[in-house]
Amino acid sequence: MSERVVGLFFKSDSENGARIASLIKSADYDASVNFTFWAPDDGYPDAGRDFGDMEFAVSIGGDGTFLRVARAVRGLGIPLYGINAGRLGFLASGRPENAALDVVRILSGDFTKSSRAALKCELLSNGARRCFYALNEITLSKVSTSRPIGLRVMAGGEVLYRFLADGVIISTPTGSTAYSLSAGGPVVHPDVSCLLVTPICPHSLYSRPIVLGENEIIDVYPDYESEGMKLAGDGILDIEVPSGDVVRVTLDKKGVDIIKLDYLSYYEVLRKKLNWCMENIQNEHSVVKRDD
């Protein structure tokens, strides 16, 4: 009987994560099931770590932990399931009280997978090239808090934006409900293959968010003799990009397979986690009275 390896990922300093992992491991499984424990890197891990013959990974924590694990398993063919031990739990949607039962269901094959594209970000500097990946978004923002930065954003070799702003967000559909949403970007269903570009507080009346095709190449330059900009991926990776360097972002179709159980649909998650259309839901059964 071949061994079935399940990876449990949680922060090393998370007592709650360790407790949930212990509950998962102590449940009744077939003798072939083995659990390995991993602590997500607090830095910026990319795919390439050796997880052996891991059948699937379980992230135990909030969405930040989920994003770290997603980068680690990106492109390795290891599906990822999230148990929410944090706050929002938009990506890590499993409930801690159902954690062991969820793992049993996944081992039995009672689940579906949602393939999510990631972003590939290349920092081009004096002929050198550094590469990073993100599941939600790449953010380019101002270095100084006291004034905006000049940015030139190119798409397919043509000027898309040239403005003063606090920055710009390039996101996947998965990331459309994260920072991009807060900056006024649209919600895009994760089954849509595209790129989103969302300006952050542009000093312009006409710089609106835009949805681009899946094969687009986006280049971002510091502009207007700017002092440079900061590069972040999924809320971490704080790198200064000096004037003269280029940040190139494309869709990385290797991505991550997210395990989905039948607890909540995407639209139910929008309603429950983001209060989408809650006013209409609360009033749909009410009778509107008016004076004639």
Residue with tokens 């990506």: 91
Nearest one of 69, 43, 68 to 56, comparing CA atoms: 69
The Cα 60–Cα 94 span in angstroms is: 9
In contact, 249 and 119? CB cutoff 8 Å: yes
What sign does the CA torsion over 99, 105, 111, 117 have? positive
Amino acid at 210: I
The Cα 91–Cα 104 span in angstroms is: 20
- Our answer to whether residue 63 is catalytic in this structure is yes
The Cα 202–Cα 151 span in angstroms is: 10
Instruction: Please identify which of the residues 63, 166, 234, 245 carries the catalytic annotation.
Output: 63
* Long-range pairs for 73-76: beta carbons < 8 A, 24 or more residues apart: 73/47, 73/256, 74/46, 74/47, 74/118, 74/133, 74/135, 74/252, 74/254, 74/255, 74/256, 75/47, 75/252, 75/254, 75/255, 76/47, 76/51
Tokens of 222: 């510091």
Enumerate the active-site residues.
63
